[in-house]
Amino acid sequence: MNAVTLDHLSKTYPGGRQAVDSVSLTLEPGEVFGFLGPNGAGKTTTVKLLNGMLTPTRGSLRVFGLDPAAAPEKVHALSGVVTEHAQMYDHLTGLDNLIFYGALFGLDIPESRRRGQKLLAQMELSDAENVKLAAYSTGMRQRLSLARALLHRPSILFLDEPTSGLDPESAQKVHAMIRRLAAEQGCTVFLCTHQLRYAQEICTRYGLMEEGRLLAQGTLESLQARVGSGITLKLRLSSLPAFLEKRAVSLGEHLFALPIRTENEIPELVRQIAADGKDIFHVQAELPTLEDIYFALTNRPKETL
Ligand SMILES: Nc1ncnc2c1ncn2[C@@H]1O[C@H](COP(=O)(O)OP(=O)(O)OP(=O)(O)O)[C@@H](O)[C@H]1O
Ligand SMILES: [Mg+2]
């Protein structure tokens, strides 16, 4: 059974704004799916639909075969959610917050405490277990929020910008935890983010959204093949041979970028450069990154994401 199925899912808000426009996709169990797109693309709206907080205007959706609008409590029993601004209780300690939410998930107090302490340790928050949430930093709150989402051992995690507002080191920690969860516990992850570089480190597949529409979906390799922008060969040479003058771009002293179609071109090129009497200090083949793919598909200038 698919973990998630969206079938021509559409959502128009009462004011007339169409936030999600006929999106169809499926997630297999255990996938770490990156749902990517700029502000206003429809990511949060999709997560709210998946959690039964909103109902679709058209189309349908299922989470492990369940309709979130018809059976929200069944979906909540299977899923954990981390939103950008996690709401928890400032006057309770980190552990007491987890015990409280554990009770909502039907765990008894000793079990909530055990599970809470284990998760706090995993999130490197053991030292702050008895500290009131009011004194937590943003990064600590986000990690506590992840711990809360995991209390009932969900089969799927919906993470909406889980690292927004975190410094690079804290963001890295959260991403490492997400990767571990997926690898060790087989948890399916639906990760909304516009941080493409981080997404590329942890996701197994992607969906690229823009203005409510799904522009493309697939693995990095399939998306790379789709944009077809080929490989950029970075070369550090004593000087550029005349036969490459029209094809290569200078990137600085002795450094050149050369677009090629496939890796098979590299050995012959290297032989030709050497035969031309030039010294080769460095050769590196660079495939398009998720960012390159995104901007190629949307034709957006890079600063818009
Ligand atoms: N409650 C609402 N009522 C009306 N319009 C809304 C509502 N919530 C969101 N929208 C609109 O729907 C569109 C999609 O918003 P959404 O929050 O789903 O985007 P997003 O991809 O999560 O963006 P961000 O990266 O900024 O979080 C936007 O144009 C937004 O203004
Ligand atoms: Mg959002």
Distance 40 CA to ligand 1 centre (A): 5
Cα 303 to middle of ligand 1, angstroms: 20
- Per-residue pLDDT band for 229 (boundaries 50, 70, 90) equals low
Q: What are phi and psi of 162, to 5 degrees?
A: -70, -15
Quote the mean pLDDT of the chain.
91
3-state secondary structure of 39: coil
Where do you find CATH 3.40.50.300 in the chain? 4-225
The residues, ordered by sequence, that sit 6+ positions from 12 with a Cβ below 8 Å of its Cβ are 18, 19, 57
Say how many C-beta atoms besides its own lie within 10 A of residue 231's C-beta: 17
**pLDDT, greater one: 11 or 182:** 11
pLDDT tops 90 at residue 10: yes
Question: For 33-63, what is each residue's pLDDT tens digit?
Answer: 999 998 999 999 999 999 999 999 999 999 9
**Residue 171: what pLDDT?**
87
Q: Please, which pLDDT band fits residue 150 given cuts at 50, 70 and 90?
A: very high
Does 40 contact ligand 1 (Cβ within 6 A)?
yes
DSSP string of 241-304?
A: -GGGTTT-EEEETTEEEEEES-GGGHHHHHHHHHHTT--EEEEEEEPPPHHHHHHHHH---GGG
Q: How far is the CA of 44 from the centre of ligand 2 (A)?
A: 4
Confidence of residue 267 (pLDDT cuts 50, 70, 90): very high
Query: Residue 133 carries which DSSP code?
Result: G
- Amino acid in position 35: F
Q: Tell me the mean pLDDT in the region 219-225.
A: 88
112 lines ligand 1 (CB under 6 A): no
pLDDT value for 173? 83
Q: What string of DSSP letters covers 224-235?
A: HHHH---EEEEE
66-77 burial by CB neighbour count: b if 16+ within 10 A, else e? bbbbeebebbbe
Contact 195, 163 (CB under 8 A): yes
Per-residue pLDDT at 302 exceeds 70 = no
Ranges 59-63, 290-294, 299-303: which has the least confidence: 299-303
The CATH number of 4-225 is 3.40.50.300
Strand segments, DSSP code E, in 13-155 are 18-27, 32-36, 58-63, 79-82
pLDDT at 212: 96
Does ligand 1 have an atom closer than 6 angstroms to the CB of 11?
no
pLDDT for position 138: 85
The whole-angstrom separation of Cα 81 and Cα 150 is 9
Measured CA to CA in angstroms, residue 203 lies from 68, 142, 182, 191, 221 at distances of 24, 19, 10, 8, 12
What average pLDDT does the segment 129-158 reach? 93
Two tokens, residue 279: 């010294």
Pocket perturbation via mutation, ligand 1, pick of 13, 18, 196, 211 by most ligand atoms within 8 A of CB: 13
Average pLDDT over residues 272-297: 91
Q: Is the CB of 281 under 6 A from ligand 1?
A: no
- The residue nearest atom 2 of ligand 1, judged by CA position, is 13
Q: What is the mean pLDDT of residues 141-166?
A: 91
* Per-residue CA distances from 277 to 65, 106, 240, 241, 282 (Å): 65, 74, 10, 8, 15
How do residues 116-136 score in pLDDT, each as one tens digit?
Answer: 999 999 888 999 999 999 999
Instruction: Quote the CA–CA distance of 101 and 254 in Å, as a whole number.
Output: 60
For the stretch 186-204, pLDDT in tens is 899 999 998 888 898 899 9
The whole-number pLDDT of residue 87 equals 79
Distance 14 CA to ligand 1 centre (A): 12
Q: Give the model's pLDDT for residue 300.
A: 66
Classify residue 132 by its DSSP letter: B
Q: Is the CB of 85 under 6 A from ligand 1?
A: no
Q: Find out whether the beta carbon of 19 lies less than 6 Å from any atom of ligand 1.
A: yes
